Structure 1
Amino acid sequence: MGAPDPGTIADELQYVVGALVRRRRALSTSDDVTPSQVSILKRLDREGPHTVADLARLDKITHQSVTVSAARLVDRGLVRREPDAADGRRKLLVITAAGQSLLAVRRDAGHELLTEAIAARFSPAERRRISASLTLLRRLID
């Protein structure tokens, strides 16, 4: 028997990852933050300050969409605008402590749910196989 078809593996991987993400969102805490807003918060948390134009370009979405999402985040105190030291005409979006806290709560809730599901549904031998598979899958992103 030959190696599985890469296209079949890709299809199954996309399905499983997508389903996990959807399940996580469905069980998410009700914090009234949209997926677009969470995406902005995550990027600012990981990469530091960005302009609206930067975020639109990086996430391949419209400038107007980022402007609306960013305004809501600023209104909620999750992001603040600061002048760009290199170009005073530009405004940078910076995540606040409240924004970082919201991300931490969401991350912890998702982690806890996934940990419980793994413990309940997989034997120790299966968990070892999953762990080994994750090591291989990391090569897709490294």
Structure 2
Amino acid sequence: MSNRTSDPADLADELQDVVGALVRRMRSASPSREVSLTQVSILKRLDREGTATVADLARADKIRHQSVNVAVAALIERGLVHKTADTADLRRKLLGLTDAGRTLLAERREAGSGHIAELIADRMDQAEQQQVSAALVLLRRLIE
């Protein structure tokens, strides 16, 4: 951003550009394995939070139930997610990561995050790294 501005519309536009570029950079460093961003989001949420239903995942990511259902079906077909009956309510189906799903996430994290970590270490001094850390706290508030 050439002009420092606090205009929300300008900030939103710049943030979208920067986040998009970071995602593309991480994806280019990660193993492709043809996993969509929605699928990666589902895998990461299951890894962080444990088992969940399709409805839980749709609510958490604020996307349509049907979109999650399609993504989950592809993940199950690829052996990255498994579906089991909820012992408390046999009508509910719980989704969880398989070992293959955990392995894929680990590979993506190592490749993508490792690449970004190298860029941070190479291109930012300690004060700049602290600024990024502080900014992340604020950015998380946007998605909560």
Fold match (TM-score > 0.5):
yes
Deviation at 1:6, TM superposition (A): 5.6
1:27 alignment partner, one of 29, 36, 39: 29
Evaluate the alpha carbon distance shift between residue 118 and residue 132 of structure 1 in structure 2; reply closer, same or farther with a 3 A threshold. closer
Residues of 1 paired with 2:107 and 2:32: CA distance?
Answer: 11
Evaluate the alpha carbon distance shift between residue 139 and residue 111 of structure 1 in structure 2; reply closer, same or farther with a 3 A threshold. closer
| CA deviation string 1:31-71 (max 9, x = no partner) | 12111111110111111111111112222222222111111
Matches within 5 A, 1:44-123: 44-120=46-122, 122=123
TM-score (norm 2): 0.81
For 2:71, the aligned partner's letter is S
% identical equivalent positions? 53
Structure 2: unaligned runs, 5 residues or longer: none
Aligned to 1:5: 6
Aligned to 1:16: 18
**3-state SS, counterpart of residue 90 of structure 1:** strand
Residues of 2 paired with 1:65 and 1:90: CA distance?
Answer: 18
Structure 1: unaligned runs, 5 residues or longer: none
Structure number with greater Rg is 1
Deviation beyond 6 Å, 4+ runs, structure 1 = none
- On the 8 A contact 2:72/2:81 being kept in 1, the answer is yes
Give aligned pairs, total. Answer: 136
Q: Specify which structure has the bigger relative contact order, considering alpha-carbon pairs within 8 angstroms and separated by 6 or more residues.
A: 2
Residues of 2 paired with 1:84 and 1:137: CA distance?
Answer: 39
